[in-house]
Amino acid sequence: MEETIKENRKKYFFFDIDGTLIAWTKDWQQIIPESTKEALRLLKQNGHFVAIATGRSQAMARPLMDLFDIRNMIHDGGNGITIDGEIVDVEPLDYDLCLKLIEECEEKGIPWAISPDNTTYRLTKDDRWQDFARDVYMETRVVEGLDPRDYDVLYKMYIACSPERQKDIEYLKILPWARYHDTYLFVEPTDKSRGIYKMMEHLNAPLEDVVVFGDDLNDLTMFIDRWTCIAMGNGKQEVKDRATYVTDAAADDGIYNACRHFGWI
């Protein structure tokens, strides 16, 4: 009886996007199971709090909030929170360290780009960045004479270099970064749990009622023993090893099945 009462309490769900809310085929075709949308609908209907947890900026993830009808989000790698569709807080990168990284890239002839605000595009000073990166993730705009000192804050940076070349960049040993492409890396916050702590403090809600869903190594920061952690069946083994529970793959109704298993829907 005590376990049933506990599971009937309001929970606070945080879902990773790629590999969790969205499944992918081997040829990178997007799959969004109808069962996932139904699970989210039922969670909200049952009074639970539902949020996305992503490394993306709020602007880049906003269309996915609309797609899944979710109004809350941890974004900017844990440095930002959005509640009921409105940004409550977003913390930029360390400004001085970013400037030093750009100076180092300039000295070494490494192309760079920046995101100084919450937009769906990045800025760079010439065509070298896109010529090297060949990226279609987001729009890249060339601003002749671009000077990062013209902006008060920097939220993300993009360094066009190979994994081998990045070893020579000293300030990457200090700033947080992630690599999703062979041709460039993101300098961005990487601790999703930080955003969850901020969200729960803002909501004045108990950490023990947090539930996170994830699949990849960038989700490990939110797979901690303070709350319930659900690993997708398609997830990396390191994520599964740290999980409270391993569900089915995202494409095989993993979110819905886990929520049914625990009686949340």
Q: Express each pLDDT in 41-65 by its tens digit.
A: 999 999 999 999 999 999 999 999 9
- Adjacent-strand bridge partners of 186: 158, 178
CA angle, 100 then 101 then 105, to 5°: 115
Determine the Cα–Cα distance for residues 85 and 70; give it in Å rounded to an integer.
8
- What is the extent of the structural domain holding 176? 95-187
Domain boundary among 187, 217, 235: 187
178 and 197 belong to one structural domain: no
Number of domains in the chain: 2
Determine the Cα–Cα distance for residues 163 and 8; give it in Å rounded to an integer.
47
Domain boundary among 165, 187, 209: 187
Determine the Cα–Cα distance for residues 126 and 44; give it in Å rounded to an integer.
46
252 and 133 belong to one structural domain: no
The residues, ordered by sequence, that sit 6+ positions from 8 with a Cβ below 8 Å of its Cβ are: 263
17 and 72 belong to one structural domain: yes
Q: Which residue has the tokens 């609309």?
A: 66
Q: How many CB atoms lie within 10 A of CB 100?
A: 15
Domain boundary among 154, 187, 220: 187
Q: How far is CA 12 from CA 2, 105, 120, 215, in A?
A: 19, 41, 28, 18
210 and 177 belong to one structural domain: no
Q: What is the DSSP letter of 136?
A: -
243 and 122 belong to one structural domain: no
Q: What is the CATH number of the domain that holds 117?
A: 3.30.1240.10
81 and 212 belong to one structural domain: yes
35 and 161 belong to one structural domain: no
Reported as a pLDDT band with limits 50, 70 and 90, residue 2 is very low
What pTM does this model have?
0.92
> Would you state the structure tokens that stand for residue 77, as one six-digit string?
């790698």
84 and 162 belong to one structural domain: no
68 and 136 belong to one structural domain: no
pLDDT at 212: 98
> Would you state the structure tokens that stand for residue 170, as one six-digit string?
């000293």
158 and 231 belong to one structural domain: no
68 and 115 belong to one structural domain: no
Q: Which H or E element spans position 166?
A: helix 163-166
Flag whether pLDDT at 224 surpasses 70: yes
